[in-house]
Chain A
Amino acid sequence: MAKSSSQSLLDRFNNSANALGLVFMLPAAAILLVFLTYPLGLGLWLGLTDTKIGRPGVFIGLENYRSLFNDSVFWLSVFNTIGYTAVASVFKFVLGLILALLLNQNIALKSFMRAIILLPWIVPTTLSAIAFWWMYDSQFSIISWVLVKAGLIDHYIDFLGDRWNARISVVVANIWRGIPFVAISLLAGLQTISPSLYEAATIDGATPWQRFRFITYPLLTPIIAIVMTFSVLFTFTDFQLIYVITRGGPVNATHLMATLSFQRAIPGGQLAEGAAIAMAMVPFLIAAILISFFGLQRRAWQQGSKD
């Protein structure tokens, strides 16, 4: 009796989607709640306290945000972050799209090309950033050496010592790292476009630009929206490239919000202030996620599905 009732209980459990779903969700939910949701709330709380390393803080309201509001370095980091994200994303999109269109042609060694082009994205960013750091060296930069040899400049470029040179240098490194992701994702989108559309357009006398503008671009829009949301999101919260190449210097000229947050919180010991800077990134991230959401909606609408 007891055995059969426990069996049927087990059976019922096995066939109940809700109970089984709960158990199956447990490991992932536990890890994410403890190490993702809770820290998010804790970060918000820390930003409202005066916690320092080694000293638990007390609630001080919006004091951190008020002092950040009057902090010129913080505002510099905000503008740097927006500029860095905007410039890098535009170049990543344009160059990535061009590369995707090139790879979509009938070329020799297509899959091999696709494979090696993804390398900058696979290799640890920190390590490729160290290679850029070396190429930007003030005395031994290979870029300067080639330009001097070619007679284009007469003295070595001070890549990382000058404010604007440093900004351009880190943006270039970021674009270099981001192109493969954009290109390969857009290539996957391009490959879903039926060739018959291009044939029909060509027979009707469309120019290559018209074929791009009226076939490729509209059909690619949904995937562009998603890819660029990811790209913007990860560029906006970038930390590694800046930390390796400039550490925010010279004189804070390349500090992003993420690197400033680290700088203040960990070496500086001002955990609360760092947390407040990190939290100040959240509104921008929400904006990016909303864009992604509406991009997805539009995609569903274009495919004529209700879901």
Chain B
Amino acid sequence: MSKKPVVQSVEEKVYSEGGMDFLLTRQRKFVTVYLPLAVFTFILLFPFYWMTITTFKSNDDIYNYEKNSPFWVFNPTLHNIKKLLFETSYPDWLWNTFLVSVVATAISLFASVLAAYAIERLRFKGSRWIGLSIYGAYLVPPSILFIPLATMVYKLGLFDSRWALILTYPTFLIPFCTWLLMGYFKSIPFELEECALIDGATRVQILWKIVLPLAVPGLISAGIFAFTLSWNEFIYALTFISSSENKTVPVGVLTELVDGDVYHWGSLMAGALFGSLPVALLYSFFVEYYVAGMTGAVKE
């Protein structure tokens, strides 16, 4: 500290703060930065808070705001969760969602790694156009594909089976993962591959032993993103699956937990909470990869 000249430490301060906001006073910063930020955070997180506390409330407290303040759980109960786990097919839905997401992600990663490497590094004839058409494929939304896909799924005899989802989810996962991985492969220096080629390595060896180990962060980003997108998918699962035990969590919670006009809000919120937790947990471990994946996909 004492060794550094004063001027330099001021300069460092400017850069580390990424702006001129050290000119703001403490009070002014509170009003212009922290207060609006707190409002944003409150609004963005409130639905999750509300979901969580409704889950642990007794029916008495869910429908009566006057006796106890609605913003806290006074008589916590596991009744809603118990009902969800033992009186509905919720465990089946969780298992289906997990299975479909993992298999669809694995298929998509495999296909995407090969495709991204071919487009970015093999530079075969027309690779530029293939790259652009992959980008185009990412922009085709599921809501215009689900009707023809439904007729195909029916003809292939896959209706109401997990395979219907495992085979259709890659249509939005592969374009996304390929695009993301192309960006990562681009950042690996050509010289490494050239050295390996001179030493007699084949392209497959280069991909497996040099490029993939260096692209691990990209693989993690693509993998967790693909898993999250599959977990959250709704319209295909709603259209292609009809029997209760084959449904995924988003579809099951919506279609099976509402009987007639009676909404059991306690178990509905419990279903929403436990369907959100797996991706929220995965997210909490890999935040940086999510951000890198998202911004990478946008920037490329």
Contacts and interface: CB of A to CB of B under 8 A. Distances in A.
Interface stretch (A35-43, A59-67, A70-78, A84-92): A35-43
Interface stretch (B1-9, B83-91, B212-220, B249-257): B249-257
A51 B210 CA distance: 52
A118 B148 CA distance: 33
Interface string A144-181: 01000000000000000000000000000000100111
Given A18-B125, A262-B235, A271-B151, A285 B295 contact: no
B118 A176 contact: no
Measured as residues with beta carbon below 8 angstroms from the partner, the interface class of chain B is: 35 or more
A39 to B, nearest CB: 4
A122 B37 contact: no
A80 interface: no
B82 interface: no
Interface in A82-116: 95, 98-99, 102-107, 111, 113-116
B13 to A, nearest CB: 10
A253 interface: no
A188 to B, nearest CB: 4
A79 B238 CA distance: 25
A17 interface: yes
B78 interface: no
A125 interface: yes
Contact of A25 (B118, B254, B284, B299): B118
Most chain A beta-carbon contacts within 10 A, residue among B139, B263, B271: B139
B74 to A, nearest CB: 16
A20 B203 contact: yes
B141 A285 contact: yes
A219 interface: no
A179 B45 CA distance: 12
A185 B295 contact: yes
A265 B151 CA distance: 11
A115 B292 CA distance: 12
A198 B21 CA distance: 10
Given A134-B268, A289-B136, A46 B148 contact: yes
A220 interface: no
A28 B168 contact: no
B122 A17 contact: yes
A105 B291 contact: no
B77 to A, nearest CB: 18
B102 interface: no
Interface in B143-179: 143-152, 167-168, 170-171, 174-175, 178
Nearest to B298: A185
A184 interface: yes
Interface string B270-300: 0111011001100110010011001100110
Contacts of B284: 115
A274 interface: yes
A39 B149 contact: yes
Contacts of A123: 48, 232, 276, 279-280
A246 interface: no
Contacts of B134: 28, 32
A227 interface: yes
B194 to A, nearest CB: 13
Contacts of A181: 294
Contact of B44 (A51, A180, A282): A180
9 contacts: A21-B122, A35-B152, A40-B144, A130-B269, A134-B269, A262-B235, A271-B150, A275-B147, A289-B139
Q: Which are the 7 A-B pairs with shortest beta-carbon distances?
A: A21-B124, A24-B118, A188-B295, A126-B250, A237-B141, A28-B115, A42-B148
